[in-house]
Amino acid sequence: MTEPDTMQTILIIDDAKENIVVLSRLLKSQANIIFALSGEEGLKIAGTRLPDLILLDISMPGLNGFEVLEHLKQSQTTADIPIIFITGIPDAETEEKGLNLGAVDYITKPFASAVVKARVRHQLKLQRLTTALKEANTRLTQLAMSDPLTGAYNRRYFLDALKKELERVQRYRHPSILMVFDIDCFKSINDNHGHDIGDKVIIEMVKVSTTMLRKNDIFSRFGGEEFTILLPETPLAEAAQIANRLCLQIARTTIESGNKALSFTVSCGVTQLRDDDKSPDSIMKRADVALYQAKQSGRNQVVIADATEPSVSN
């Protein structure tokens, strides 16, 4: 018998209470049972409770079973819920129609209890395996696009996002900004305090940065101690202010290293995406040049690409 806290849920949709009672008693050891006495009520419950399996009658007042099935399959939320018809209509044509509409099985009344339990058990097992596979694929997708140390987006994801944003900018002529940040003197931090402290600096840098950005901004750990930020729908002047605020906030941030507070700074290169940019590479190179200028000018500052003077944070 399945433990209650791991039990799956079956939704029974049938206008006859006696049928619900019989099926509930028969299947209560296999799953948590919820029910609806009409197709309309069943659709509402299915959309909110998201059961693992639906047992559905065909002949009901209001929406019949076929109509309920069609509604369920049209909704992205409920389309993948398996549905078994349990009905008193025994003809092959009706069964074929139900299966063609997307039902996974068709059981006629009167039914053999052992057969119903076996078929339900089989569908619940398939659904459990399907759910586990979807969750595994979601985790793999997340791993493929994120940095394992910080959870921020990684280089591959960011370059893909930058390419898409460039296409959008060239189509709609809306301003968008690329920022490239680099932690100043990071090698010295690792050499003097150890790589574990270096990792803490990176993690804290990500925490500070992401809390200051907007929902649609895209932040990535581009590699090592280098980070990138994509600011859609942002004029250059506003982006410069954001970059300076971020540099100032990071400069005020400390982490513990032994019994001492360790502070660190970042340098930043900023550039606007342009109509004549051929690829993300040209944008990245322009931002990298600005970042290099920020480093050469004393670090802990922001340089706007093609601007004559750095925008100093310190």
| 73, containing H or E segment | helix 65-74
**Residue 150 counted as domain residue:** no
| Low-confidence stretches of the chain (pLDDT beneath 50) | 1-4, 308-310, 312
Whether 243 maps to a domain, the answer reads yes
Q: Please indicate, yes or no, if residue 149 is contained in any of the structural domains.
A: no
Write down the pLDDT at residue 4. Answer: 43
- pLDDT given for residue 5 in this prediction: 52
Per-residue pLDDT tens digits for 121-168:
999 999 999 999 999 998 898 889 999 999 999 999 999 999 999 999
State whether 66 and 178 are in the same domain: no
Same domain, 187 and 298: yes
76 lies in the same domain as 179: no
CATH number for the domain including 11? 3.40.50.2300
Question: What is the sign of the dihedral through the CA atoms of 185, 190, 195 and 197?
Answer: negative
204 and 98, same structural domain?
Answer: no
Domain end residue (candidates: 90, 112, 144): 144
Question: Which pair of tokens denotes residue 55?
Answer: 């047992």
- Radius of gyration (C-alpha) of the chain in whole angstroms: 29
Q: Which pLDDT score is estimated for 142?
A: 85
How large is the greatest C-alpha to C-alpha distance in the chain, in angstroms? 86
| 8 and 133 housed in the same domain | yes
Note down the domain range covering 195.
155-312
> Count of domains in the chain?
2
